[in-house]
Structure 1
């Protein structure tokens, strides 16, 4: 079968190669064979390819990426609720890809039956593939970690509302009745407005921590979800986050080398454990990369909201299977509004 594969660490443009004779996977146990129709790209995908220390733990050779939409093509289906020919979408967890080297950027892939859901008929394969990792990350940050419940009217701040995770976070928070403030650039304001954001802050024009403390200091946020990883936001969070509130971070400190990874590790330890009297921030901090597992109940519940149109997929651009390098270039540019998707045909 055709697949994109990397055999060594490095930038996608240099190490990711097109293989026309990659072995087709064989289903076994609870894994279902899926004929891939669309794959969405995620930052962790190219970081596992190119960025230490993450890339050090990646088994090679490797077919990258985790988010898939396609058609059930084989496997032991009894009791799964699936049949041959069903249109499905789902995810291969990154810890599985790290250990096995078997991702989804190929004509066929294997997915655990519990991590698949039937694709809503109102979505294309490209739209469905855009949801799993970004959408489930937002769901877990807001609902599982943040404790959002329908109708409780919490105030939520989402840093980065137009990105792949942020665009889903705005919609999920609004679906649970939250008042949502989000940061955005002027070019993305119309997008986050259509997603339902109640307040949009241009991060280019203000000192964010100072602005948020001045405007929301008397009525602070219950939950902050940082999809960008802005250190000064955490450092200033006491000014705009309630004492009992939570700061959930999906990005964390940036790691581009061994030295920055070491510095990031010390930074994370400080956020989690440094006491107030040593300069620590007296707010609860959660780093989602420590908790971000994918679970079946959230995927099934999200599929229902996608089918109803309560959550709408945000696809930035769709690339042909031959144009994967261009797709990664777009994903890595930081300019994508929503998810970058590769169509497999």
Structure 2
């Protein structure tokens, strides 16, 4: 089968190669075989490809990416409600792909039957492929960790409303009835507003901490969801706009570009956030850093929200299978609005 594969670590342009005779995967006793129609990109996969320290957790050879949409070809379908020929979408979790090197940027993949679900008819393969990892991440941060509940009118701040995770986090929070404030640059304001955000702050206009302190010190947030990282002051100064009972949930962490200096600074910053007690000057707000988790119930709810139009796909662009390197350049530029998608097969 055709697949994009890397056998050494580095940037996608340097190490990723298309192979036309890569072995077709065989499903295990609990897996489904899927013919991939589309796959979408997530930052974690180019980071494990070549950025320290994450690259040390990835086995090679490896096929990158986890989000997919396609057609069931076989495997163990017992208890899934699926049959051969069904159109589906789902996720190869990064934690699994790092261990076995099996990903979605190929003509076929195998996936655990608990993380694949029938595709709603109101979205295309390309659109359906944008949902899984980013929406699972939003579920983990907002609901599992942040304790967002339907109908409680909680106040949520999402840093990075036009990014791959942010566009779905805004929609999910609104579907749960939250008051949502988010950030983007001026060219993305119309998009982010269309997702239902109640207020949109331009992070390029002036210091974001100052904007939050001025506007929301009297009406602080229950949940602060950081999908961007880079600016550590957002956490250290969060008592100005995050409730004492509020939760700062982070999926980006301190900025680390792979250099020794950034690794040392980032490691110290992490230790300070996670270990420094409040009595010794630590920030008096709960902080959690982590990665999303999957569940069949969440995937089923995700498909339901998509089918009802409450989660709509945000596609930055669709690239041909042969143009995967161009697609990575776009995804890594930081300018993508929503998800970058590869059309694997018709």
One fold, TM greater than 0.5? yes
Structure 1 position 221 matched with structure 2 position 221: yes
Q: Could you give the per-residue CA deviations for residues 67-102 of structure 1, whole angstroms, max 9, x where no partner exists?
A: 010000011222221100010100011111111011
Deviates more, 1:156-165 or 1:247-256: 247-256
Name the CA distance, whole Å, in 2 between partners of 1:251 and 1:156. Answer: 17
Deviations 1:285-331 (A, max 9, x none): 01123xx2222111111110000001101111000000000000000
Counterparts of 2:143 and 2:14, CA distance in 1: 39
Q: Secondary structure at the match of 1:261?
A: helix
Q: Give the match for residue 286 of structure 2.
A: 284
2:35 match: secondary structure: strand
Residue aligning to 1:236? 237
Counterpart of 1:188 in structure 2 is 188
Q: 1:274 is matched with which residue?
A: 276
Asked if 1:141 corresponds to 2:141, the answer is yes
Cα distance in 2 for partners of 1:86, 1:114 equals 15
Q: Please give the alpha-carbon distance, in whole angstroms, between the structure 1 residues aligned to 2:3 and 2:19.
A: 5
CA RMSD of aligned residues (A): 1.0
How far apart, CA to CA, are the structure 1 residues paired with 2:298 and 2:220?
A: 28
Match of 1:75 in 2: 75
How far apart are residue 219 of structure 1 and its match?
A: 1.3
1:330–1:340 CA contact under 8 A, matched in 2: yes
Q: Partner of 2:48 in structure 1? A: 48
SS at match of 1:79: coil
What CA deviation, in whole Å up to 9, does each residue of 1:36-75 have, x standing for no partner? Answer: 0000001001001110111112110100111010000011
Q: Would the aligned equivalents of 1:53 and 1:258 in 2 still touch at CA under 8 Å?
A: no
Shift of 1:222: 0.8
Whether 2:153 is the aligned partner of 1:156: answer no
- Report the TM-score, using the length of structure 2 for normalisation: 0.97
Q: What is the DSSP-based 3-state SS (H/G/I as helix, E as strand, rest coil) of the residue aligned with 2:165? A: helix
Return 5+ residue gaps in structure 1 as ranges: none
**1:48·1:54 contact (CA, 8 Å) conserved in 2?**
yes
Matched, 1:203 2:207: no
Q: Which SS does the other structure have where 2:183 is aligned?
A: strand
Q: TM-score, normalised by structure 1?
A: 0.98
Q: Aligned residues, how many?
A: 343
SS in 2 for 1:70: strand
Consecutive unaligned residues of structure 2, counting only runs of 5 or more, are none
Q: Is the 8 A contact 1:210 1:236 kept in 2?
A: no
Residue matched to 1:265: 267
Displacement of 1:258: 5.4
The Cα of 1:265 is off from its aligned counterpart by 2.5
Query: SS of the counterpart of 1:164?
Result: coil
2:186 and 2:252 map into 1 onto residues whose CA distance is 22
Alignment of 1:1-345 (within 5 A): 1-229=1-229, 230-257=231-258, 259=260, 260-289=262-291, 292-345=292-345
Helix, strand or coil for the counterpart of 1:55? helix
Tell which deviates more after alignment, 126-135 or 254-263: 254-263
Determine the C-alpha separation between the residues in 1 that align with 2:84 and 2:280: 59
Counterpart CA distance in 2 for 1:31 and 1:198 is 42
Deviates more, 1:154-163 or 1:254-263: 254-263
